[in-house]
């Protein structure tokens, strides 16, 4: 019996019970269409074939591929300009209202009626084919070619709808329904601006949100909903049972769980002012603004398919000498105008891509992934060889005359064709130990490959130890941030995170260097720091005690001020993989594990997939739902559009706090400003005017880590 129990336990360990199948999920994406210049856009409408049409002041247009073109298919109508267009309730046939007639091309073109010239400018058609026509102080119903004038609504008509076989009118005072050949009031309104229908509910948009009344009694069925992203509502629609609203500040959709998806900024729309909306049969929403036509589409894809999208995107336009590159867009939002540019942390950002390919190779054994990992490593090797110093890693390099970031930090290379950037920081150092570890574990298979990786980290760690735990630049001075000596680290009080972080990163590097090289020097130095200088205690500082601690100035920087440092979180978690896996003893592993869990518990509200998965690999703990949520909501569009969420009324703001967690719940990533792992995920506003684009390695690393750790099938 015991043998059977042990065998069962082994099976559980080898096949994690928490593994999630990679099933298709719904991903929101934006499509923007090409619009001829000079059009005055009025209304978007879809017919029963899901064809998309736009009424303009210059004529009737339709979508052809990604282009809006003049609808010339019906020659008798091609040069005519409708005053209004609508689709018949139920059938979805298009009806055209002109100054002198209303007609359709459906039903073999039979339904039409001649009208008094210029009397009507609006039309809706019910399921029976009756046409409700409205104009200035005019109202009529056309049925089977006969026109019946009706008493006009005294205060005028704001909206007309055909629903449930009858007509409804919204004025600025009331909702009316058509009964016994005239309109009767159903519900008195105040400042209602939009109307839609769902079951027996009449949904009404206002300047303060939306509410619903029963279509038969006029009684309130849904109270005024004010906790919506934008309460000023111009348009209301129901698509696939979900309520949509168009506002002067974007569109939003009510989800099945009662929360809202908010689609604003140029990530989603060409501008935020919504004029008109129309849905197709799949629930995709077409949003018309004064200047453009946009679609918010809901595609079904797996996380693997999403990864393939970013893999292709990166290889197409984001590789610079092996480094990952974000793009400068000479024309905002236009990736065709892109230039690859160096940044302050090419090594750190590239480490995410390199390590994603290392995990990918470990999972798939695809030689392409191995090739991409080594190509990225070539850039890391060259940061050592391109400068005239021994073991000092350059931040980045570029052909002479084309540098981009921080021009004062660039130096001439011994190779006259190139320049290199100095002032290397601890951020970059973390990238070096991280990529060394994952290459060693997952990619380097031959003795020659192992030696390449070992030589790389050996040179860097030798430089650091030889220079008293600093990186010394060409001016023979330590750089601003690459410092791990006890005089610097222990100068910090325990309430400033740099004391714990610096201790963690240098010990991880020394352990790694010892494991790969076997040089006792690294082990000796590590234990000296751990024991004599208290770095082990520093590593175990409780993150809950970190707080504002003014008065500690380092080269003009007040190190204890400014709130929580999310870049430090990024450095810490990448380092934790190395710290734990290359620990000298099991006792140290246990102590490191406790410190890592202490940090992870604080970070859990941010739902970061990388932090989750690294903690899982070390401590067996992770938030499965948050990790899947993070991967699914990661945006497909990584252009740095300006995003503004602070104006939203559907979020719960928290009082000011040290971690700058602004809201009680984290917004989906595709509603946040584009950011890397080193930013505060709770930032509500950010971005620019679309002048740059990130690559997507931020997604690829946690995706392939999840596959490697077998929590995603």
Over the stretch 198-244, which tens digit does the pLDDT of each residue have?
999 999 999 999 999 999 999 999 999 999 999 999 999 999 999 99
Q: Which of 94, 672, 30 is nearest to 293 (CA)?
A: 30
In a domain, 594, yes or no: yes
pLDDT of residue 13: 30
> Both 331 and 359 in a single domain?
no
> Both 492 and 572 in a single domain?
yes
**Which of 453, 475, 493 is the last residue in one of the domains?**
453
Beta-strand relationship, 293-301 and 276-279: unpaired
- Report the predicted TM-score, pTM, of the whole model to 2 decimal places: 0.94
DSSP 3-state of 545: helix
Residue 33: both structure tokens together? 């269409």
Helices and strands, counts by H and E, the chain = 15, 41
* DSSP tag of 475: T
Over the stretch 545-561, which tens digit does the pLDDT of each residue have?
999 999 999 999 999 99
Above 90 in pLDDT, residue 12? no
Over the stretch 644-695, which tens digit does the pLDDT of each residue have?
999 999 999 999 999 999 999 999 999 999 999 999 999 999 999 999 999 9
Above 80 in pLDDT, residue 10? no
CA dist 426 and 623 (Å) reads: 29
> Both 389 and 403 in a single domain?
yes
> Both 645 and 685 in a single domain?
yes
Which backbone phi and psi does 442 adopt, to 5 degrees?
Answer: -125, -20
CA dist 103 and 96 (Å) reads: 5
Identify whether the C-beta of residue 502 lies closer than 8 Å to the C-beta of residue 483. yes
Q: What is the DSSP string of 500-533?
A: HHHHHHHHHHHHHHHHHH--HHHHHHHHIIIIIS
Query: Among all chains, which residue has been given the structure tokens 């091309």?
Result: 105
Above 70 in pLDDT, residue 145? yes
> Both 438 and 488 in a single domain?
no
> Both 546 and 567 in a single domain?
yes
Over the stretch 619-647, which tens digit does the pLDDT of each residue have?
999 999 999 999 999 999 999 999 999 99
> Both 355 and 417 in a single domain?
yes
**Which of 549, 572, 606 is the last residue in one of the domains?**
606
> Both 660 and 576 in a single domain?
no
> Both 381 and 437 in a single domain?
yes
In a domain, 473, yes or no: no
Above 60 in pLDDT, residue 187? yes
- Can you list the pairs that 304-311 forms with residues at least 24 positions away whose Cβ atoms lie under 8 Å? 304/22, 304/703, 306/27, 306/631, 306/634, 306/636, 306/699, 306/703, 307/699, 307/700, 307/703, 307/704, 309/636, 309/696, 310/695, 310/696, 310/697, 310/699, 310/700, 311/700
**Which of 412, 431, 453 is the last residue in one of the domains?**
453
In a domain, 602, yes or no: yes
pLDDT of residue 19: 83
pLDDT of residue 11: 26
Query: Domain count of the chain?
Result: 3
> Both 504 and 597 in a single domain?
yes
Q: What is the DSSP string of 74-139?
A: STTTTT---SEEEE-TTT--EEEE-SSEEEESSGGG--EEE--TTS--EEEE-TT--EEEEETTEE
Q: Which of 490, 581, 585 is nearest to 539 (CA)?
A: 490
> Both 681 and 696 in a single domain?
yes
pLDDT of residue 7: 27
- For the chain, give the mean pLDDT: 96
Identify whether the C-beta of residue 636 lies closer than 8 Å to the C-beta of residue 27. yes
* DSSP tag of 454: H
Above 60 in pLDDT, residue 414? yes
Range of the domain at 667: 321-338+622-713
Over the stretch 269-318, which tens digit does the pLDDT of each residue have?
999 999 999 999 999 999 999 999 999 999 999 999 999 999 999 999 99
Beta-strand relationship, 470-472 and 410-412: unpaired
* DSSP tag of 573: H
pLDDT of residue 16: 54
User: What are the beta bridge partners of residue 286?
Assistant: 278, 295
In a domain, 518, yes or no: yes
DSSP 3-state of 276: strand
């Amino acid at each position: 019996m015991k043998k059977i129990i042990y065998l069962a336990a082994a099976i559980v360990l080898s096949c994690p019970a928490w593994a999630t199948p990679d099933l298709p999920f719904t991903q929101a994406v934006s499509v923007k269409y090409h619009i001829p210049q000079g059009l005055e856009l009025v209304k978007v409408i879809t017919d029963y074939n899901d064809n998309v049409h736009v009424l303009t002041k210059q004529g009737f247009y339709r979508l052809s591929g990604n282009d809006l073109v003049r609808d010339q298919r019906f020659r008798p109508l091609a040069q005519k300009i409708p005053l209004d267009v609508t689709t018949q309730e139920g059938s979805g046939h298009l009806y055209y209202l002109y100054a002198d007639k209303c007609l359709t091309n459906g039903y073999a073109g039979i339904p039409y009626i001649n009208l008094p010239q210029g009397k009507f400018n609006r039309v809706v058609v019910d399921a029976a084919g009756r046409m409700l026509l409205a104009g200035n102080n005019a109202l009529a119903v056309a049925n089977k070619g006969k026109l019946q004038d009706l008493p006009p609504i005294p205060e005028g008509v704001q909206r007309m709808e055909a629903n449930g076989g009858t007509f409804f009118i919204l004025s600025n005072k009331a909702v009316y329904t058509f009964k016994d050949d005239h309109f009767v009031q159903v519900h008195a309104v105040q400042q209602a601006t939009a109307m839609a229908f769902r079951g027996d509910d009449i949904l009404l948009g206002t300047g303060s949100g939306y509410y619903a009344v029963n279509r038969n009694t006029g009684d309130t069925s849904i109270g005024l909903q004010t906790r919506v992203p934008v309460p000023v509502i111009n348009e209301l629609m129901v698509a696939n049972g979900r309520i949509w609203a168009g506002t002067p500040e974007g569109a939003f959709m009510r989800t099945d769980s009662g929360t809202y998806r908010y689609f604003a900024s140029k990530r989603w729309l060409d501008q935020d002012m919504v004029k008109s909306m129309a849905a197709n049969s799949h629930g995709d929403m077409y949003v018309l603004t004064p200047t453009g036509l946009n679609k918010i589409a809901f595609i079904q894809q797996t996380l693997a398919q999403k990864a393939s999208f970013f893999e292709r995107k990166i290889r197409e336009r984001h590789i610079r000498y092996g480094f990952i590159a974000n793009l400068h867009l000479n024309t905002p939002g236009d990736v065709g105008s892109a230039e690859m540019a160096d940044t302050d942390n090419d090594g750190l950002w590239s480490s995410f891509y390199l390590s994603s390919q290392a995990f990918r190779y470990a999972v798939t054994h695809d030689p392409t992934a191995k090739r991409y990992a080594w190509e990225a490593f070539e850039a890391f090797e060259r940061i050592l060889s391109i400068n005239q110093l021994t073991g000092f890693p350059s931040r980045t390099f570029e052909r002479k005359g084309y540098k981009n970031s921080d021009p004062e930090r660039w130096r001439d290379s011994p190779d006259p064709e190139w320049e290199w950037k100095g002032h290397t920081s601890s951020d970059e150092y973390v990238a070096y130990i991280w990529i060394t570890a994952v290459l060693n574990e997952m990619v380097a298979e031959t003795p020659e490959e192992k030696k390449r990786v070992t030589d790389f980290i050996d040179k860097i760690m030798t430089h650091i130890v030889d220079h008293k735990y600093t990186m010394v630049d060409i001016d023979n001075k330590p750089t601003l941030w690459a410092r791990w000596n006890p005089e610097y680290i222990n100068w910090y009080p325990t309430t400033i995170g740099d004391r714990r972080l610096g201790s963690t990163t240098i010990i991880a590097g020394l352990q790694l260097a010892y494991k790969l090289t076997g040089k006792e020097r690294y082990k000796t130095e590590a234990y000296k720091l751990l024991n004599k200088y208290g770095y082990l205690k520093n590593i175990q500082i409780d993150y809950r005690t970190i707080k504002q601690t003014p008065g500690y100035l380092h080269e003009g920087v007040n190190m204890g001020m400014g709130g929580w440092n999310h870049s430090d979180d990024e450095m810490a978690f990448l380092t934790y993989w190395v710290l734990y896996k290359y620990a000298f003893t099991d006792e140290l592993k246990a102590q490191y594990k406790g410190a890592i869990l202490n940090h992870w518990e604080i970070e859990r509200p941010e739902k970061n997939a990388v932090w989750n998965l690294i903690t899982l690999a070390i401590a067996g703990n992770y938030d499965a739902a948050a990790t899947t949520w993070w991967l699914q909501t990661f945006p497909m569009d990584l252009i740095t559009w300006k995003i503004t969420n602070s104006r939203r009324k559907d979020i719960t703001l928290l009082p000011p706090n040290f971690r700058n967690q602004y809201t009680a719940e984290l917004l989906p990533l595709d509603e946040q400003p584009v950011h890397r792992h080193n930013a505060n995920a709770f930032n509500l506003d950010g971005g620019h005017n679309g002048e740059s684009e990130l690559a997507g390695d931020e997604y690829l690393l946690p995706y392939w880590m999840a596959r490697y750790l077998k929590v995603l099938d």
